[in-house]
Amino acid sequence: MENKIVNVIGAGLAGSEAAWQLASRGIKVRLFDMKPKKMSPAHKYTGFSELVCSNSLRSNQLSNACGLLKEEMRVLNSLIMKAADKFKVPAGSALAVDRYKFSDFISITLKGIDGIEIINEEVTKIPKGPVIIATGPLTSENLLGEIGRIVGEEYCFFFDAAAPIVTAESIDMDKAFFASRYDKGSDYLNCAMDKEAYYSFVDALINAECVELKDFENKNVFEGCMPVEVMAKRGRDTLAFGPLKPVGIKNPRSDFKPYAVVQLRRENEAGTLYNIVGFQTHLKFGEQKRVFSLIPGLENAEFVRYGVMHKNTFINSPKLLGENYRLKSNGNIFFAGQISGVEGYVESASSGLLTGIAAAYDIKGAKMPELTDITAIGALPEYVSNANPDLFQPMNINFGIIKPLEQRIRNKMEKNTIIANRSIEYLKSLHINEHVLEGFYV
């Protein structure tokens, strides 16, 4: 059995992690990636595990569910987490990375492993034998047709948005200032607005021209990545009480109390680029330049990337997938990444990690320990397999899907930290890494 080759389709976060987990257990891998011969509408970089939206992997704290998931992945020898920790950039309590160094490290690592064969071709027919489909939310139309033929189910669609990036040198630093909420560091760059400036900005945003969308696209905006103009149209003060809320932010150079604050986060390690936090959008590029330049400090901002909208695709996992993201109708096929119904960079990578380990156990003829919903990495596949199929939507990891404590603890942070420590302790007790080959702890 151990001479079997596992085909991993897609070298994004999920596929790269799956290939790493398999190879680290002595399983040969064919890793398919259509780049650079063919690029999706959102992909621009030829490296593996490209971060097409934000460069943030969200919270790094154990009291946060995403922070817990990352720590579980570290316990399980995650390549994605090794790269993220190695190339992190300042982002307060969040884990943000230099996206290009992050991608290059993963690409070079996987290409240097003898047991992984890299095939740069678009897959249009699912190979026989063990296969992990990790083609992401931008799966090519050709492969989507093949997947549809195999699973026999219709697909759901939602639309995601990427925020713009500006150069640091083009930001007016006489107006912008460094600070994080409640004095938790100074990793964010802030552009403050008074009431008049805020309402002028919102009015321009509401009336700006957007890229023309098809009828069904307007009904499928993903709430967790809401375009800024859609939020603004829900009420003139929606942004001021949402992503632009000024609470907890102090300008060290002024006593002025802003009505709203736009935050920017460092995009790369050198600090030459900044991402406008929460400004996912489908405004036309010229309109983005015009409207976002109304923000104090960004009047002369140089945009190196405008926000874009792109289609995200996922399968109806509650009908199709069993444990560990395995296809119910064909145990040799796994789905991983956002196409499986998880949402987010870290969640996608964790699903690739889990499918890689599960496929390795299959090939070795061993029974994989049950992760269960005691762990964050086990709670996610339980959610996507057991949610209501008629109302199924992708979701980020959260403590609501992790097994609760038996005792009641009022303090939320204390409760979450206890749950997290329980999860890590349980995961370590399973000894899942005991079959990892020597030399695969980079």
Per cent of the chain over pLDDT 90 is 66
38-63 average pLDDT score: 88
416-424 average pLDDT score: 96
Q: In 3-state terms, the chain is what percent helix, strand and coil (to 5)? A: 35, 15, 45
Confidence band for 56, pLDDT divided at 50, 70 and 90? very high
Residues sharing a CB contact under 8 Å with residue 111, sequence separation 6 or more, in sequence order: 118
Phi, psi for residue 118 in degrees, rounded to 5: -95, 125
Lowest average pLDDT, out of 157-161, 315-319, 425-429, 433-437, goes to 157-161
Nearest to 277 by CA among 232, 234, 307: 307
Residues sharing a CB contact under 8 Å with residue 156, sequence separation 6 or more, in sequence order: 313, 314, 315, 316, 392, 393
Q: Is residue 20 classed exposed, middle or buried when 0-12, 13-18 and 19+ CB atoms within 10 A define those classes?
A: buried
The answer on pLDDT for 217 being more than 60 is no
Cβ neighbours of 187 (radius 10 Å): 18
- pLDDT digits 0-9 by tens, 230-281: 899 999 999 999 999 999 898 989 989 999 999 999 987 788 889 999 898 9
Confidence band for 216, pLDDT divided at 50, 70 and 90? very low
- Higher pLDDT residue, 419 or 312? 419
The answer on pLDDT for 214 being more than 60 is no
How much is the pLDDT for 215? Answer: 52
